[in-house]
Structure 1
Amino acid sequence: MYITIAVLLTIGTPVQLRAQMKIGQSLPDSIFHNVFNYGNSSLKMSDIDRKLVIFDFWSFTCASCLHSFAKLDSLQRIFKDDIQIILVNQESRDDTENLFKNRKTLVKPNVPFITSDTVLHDTFGIIGKPALAWFNHKRIFQGMTNSVSSEDLRRFLQTKTVDTDSYVRQPEYRPNHFDTRLSNSMTYYSYIAKHQNGINLLYTDSTLSKSPATILDLYIAAYDPLDNKRYKRPGRLIMDRQVKDAVQAQNLYDYLLHVPNTGLAERHKIMQQDLKRYFGFDVKVEKRLLSSFVLVRTSDKDKLKTLGSEPKMTFFASNPQMDDIQSEERVLINRPFRFFSNILGGLIESRFNRPFIDQTNYSGLVDIRFNANTLDEMELGTLKIDLKKYDLDLIEQEIWIDVLSITQSK
C-alpha cells in the first residue's frame, strides 16, 4: 500500500472535479497547473500511482499551516515509499515562491506545490485552514482531517481507515476589517485594530501584516524585516518599567499595511511610524555587550564536509511524534551547515537563556552525528565532546549584539 499526502494549493486552470465531493467518490485523473518545486509545471494525478493522496489546504495567513511544513517534510521523507504530499493554496505561484524567498527560516517541504487554486477549494467546500482531504491508492475519497501525523499514516497503512470524526470545519475568515463591499477598492492604507476573531489578514508583496499580536509582537515585527525573530532571542530585547507594565496587559491587536510599489524595507519604516503614533514608545536598535556562547572552529581541517550520501536529518531534541529520532544517535547527513547551526543555536539559547553566535564562517553540505543525550540533555560537557569530533568548540565570550530597546517617551 502506498500513501500520497497532498497539501492543496490553488489551481490555475479548470479540472473536472465534482462540487462538494462525498466520501466514496473518486478523484478524476486531473491535471493541475501552476506547479512548482516539482519536475514539471503541471501534475497529473495518474503519475502518482498506488499511493494514498492527502490534499492539505493551506494559506499564507494560516500560522499553524506554516508551522506544520517542517513536520510535513519529515513525514514525506519517512514514508517516501508510501506517501506523496502535495501542497495546494489559492495564492499565485510567484507569490508562493516569494514567500519562501523572503522568509528564510520558513521550511519549504520537499513536495510539489499546486498554486492559484479555486476548483479544489470549491470541490471540498474549504473555507478555513488547515484542512486535509484523504484519498486511498485508488483515488477514492476517504474523508477530511485537520492534521496528519506518523501515527495517522501507519494506522491507514495497516487498517485502511482514517479518523475523520474529529474534523472541524474551520470558519470563514475575512482578509481585513473593512466592509467587503469596499475592501477591493482600497489601494493604500494602514491600520491598527483591536483583534477580532475571524480576521485572517491579507499577505501579498504589497502588504505587511501581524495578527493576532501583542505590543511586543508588533514592535519585533516592525524592526525585524527578515522575520527571523532575532529580538525574541535571549538578551536582545530591553524595556523600561512603563513598557513592561503596558506589555503585561496582553492586549491583542491586528495590524495591516497595504502600500503598492514599495520595497519591504520601506513598508517596515511605515509600520514603525504607525506604532510610534499609536503607542508612543521610543524604539531604537543599539549595540550591547552580552555574555554569549560562540561556536568556533579549532582547526582548518574540514571534518564536516558531506560524503554525498542520501540526505537525512534527525538532528532534533526528542519529540514523541517523530519516531525516527527515538534512537541513540541524531544525524544531519548531506544537509546545509546552517541547519546544524540554527538547530544547535536554538537549543543552546533555550537551555541557557544566553545568546548563541556562529563564528565558524562555514557553508556547504555536511555530515554530523551526535549522541542523542547531547541534544536531549544539553549539558556543556557532553556537547563539547561531540563538537570536538568536528574540530568545533563552544566558548563563552562577551559579544557586541544588536538589541531592540523600547522605552516610554519622555
Structure 2
Amino acid sequence: MKILTLLGVMTALCLYLNAQVNKIKPLTISDTPPDLIFNHIINQSYSKASLSDFKGKNVIIDFWSRYCLTCISSFPKIQQLQDQYNDRLQFVLANPHDYGYEKEVNALLQRVKQKTGFYPRMPIALNDTLLNLYFPHNSVPHYVWISKNRKITAITGADEITHGNIEKFLAGNL
C-alpha cells in the first residue's frame, strides 16, 4: 500500500512539473524575461544569482559548450568587454548543455589557464536547463542581450559581439 501511495505521489509530482515546464514559452526580442535564476555558479563568491542581482546593468548571456572551441577562444575578448564596461554591463557565461559535468568544465578551464594564463572572471552558470527552454538555440556561441530595463533587445551570434554594438546596446540603440 505504501508503495502504491508513493508511486501515486511521484506520478502527480511529475505531471505537475511537466505542466510547469510546458508553460514556459521561448522568449524573443522585445520580450521581458522573468527574473531568471542562475542556480549553479562556479567561479564567484556566490553560487546563485538572478537577473535582478544585476539591477542597473545590461546583461548579455553567453551560451557556450565545453566542446565549442570558438566559444572558449572568445572568453578573453568577452572578459575584455566585461572589464571595459563593468559598471554598465554584466556578461554571464551560461553552459546549460553539460548537466552534471562540473568537474569536466573546471578541468577544461584549468587547462585553458595553464596553456594561456587566462581564466574567466565573469560568472559561469552551469546546469540551468531552463535557459534552453527560454532561449532555444541550435548552435553556440549564442548571445541574449537583455537591457537594464529587462527587455530582450537582441539575440545574436559571435560576430555581433563588437565594441560598436556594445556601445549601441548600452546607449539603448540596439
**TM-score of the aligned structures, taking structure 1 as reference length:** 0.34
Match of 1:157 in 2: 170
2:36 is the alignment partner of 1:25? no
2:149 is the alignment partner of 1:138? yes
Is this contact kept in 1: 2:32–2:152, CA < 8 A?
Answer: yes
- Which of the two has greater helix per residue? 2
Is this contact kept in 1: 2:39–2:128, CA < 8 A?
Answer: no
Q: Which segment drifts farther, 66-75 or 16-25?
A: 16-25
Q: Equivalents in 1 of 2:126, 2:115: separation in Å?
A: 21
Deviation at 1:152, TM superposition (A): 1.1
- Which of the two has greater strand per residue? 1
Q: What stretches of structure 2 of length at least 5 have no aligned partner? A: 1-19
Percent sequence identity is 27
Any idea what SS the aligned residue of 1:25 has? Answer: coil
Per-residue CA deviations over 1:57-80 (Å, capped at 9, x if unaligned) read 111111111110110111111111
Counterpart residue identity of residue 128, structure 1: S
Match of 1:295 in 2: none
Aligned mate of 2:126, from 94, 111, 115? 115
Aligned mate of 2:103, from 90, 94, 110? 94
Match of 1:69 in 2: 75
Q: Equivalents in 2 of 1:32, 1:78: separation in Å?
A: 23
Q: Equivalents in 1 of 2:110, 2:29: separation in Å?
A: 38
Write out aligned runs for 1:4-403 (5 A).
Answer: 18-89=24-95, 90-91=97-98, 92-103=101-112, 104-106=114-116, 107-147=118-158, 148-158=161-171, 160-162=172-174
Q: Equivalents in 2 of 1:27, 1:43: separation in Å?
A: 15
Per-residue CA deviations over 1:332-380 (Å, capped at 9, x if unaligned) read xxxxxxxxxxxxxxxxxxxxxxxxxxxxxxxxxxxxxxxxxxxxxxxxx
Any idea what SS the aligned residue of 2:165 has? Answer: helix
Provide the aligned length of Structure 1 versus Structure 2: 147
Deviation at 1:161, TM superposition (A): 2.7
Deviation at 1:96, TM superposition (A): 1.4
Q: Over aligned residues, Cα RMSD in angstroms?
A: 1.9
Q: What stretches of structure 1 of length at least 5 have no aligned partner? A: 1-14, 163-410
Any idea what SS the aligned residue of 2:115 has? Answer: coil
Counterpart residue identity of residue 87, structure 1: L
Any idea what SS the aligned residue of 2:90 has? Answer: strand
**TM-score of the aligned structures, taking structure 2 as reference length:** 0.77
Counterpart residue identity of residue 52, structure 2: S
Q: Equivalents in 2 of 1:139, 1:93: separation in Å?
A: 29
- Of structures 1 and 2, the one with the larger relative CO (CA 8 A, separation 6+) is 2
Deviation at 1:46, TM superposition (A): 1.0
Deviation at 1:132, TM superposition (A): 0.4
Is this contact kept in 2: 1:34–1:93, CA < 8 A?
Answer: no
Deviation at 1:105, TM superposition (A): 2.2
Structure of higher CA gyration radius: 1
Deviation at 1:144, TM superposition (A): 0.7
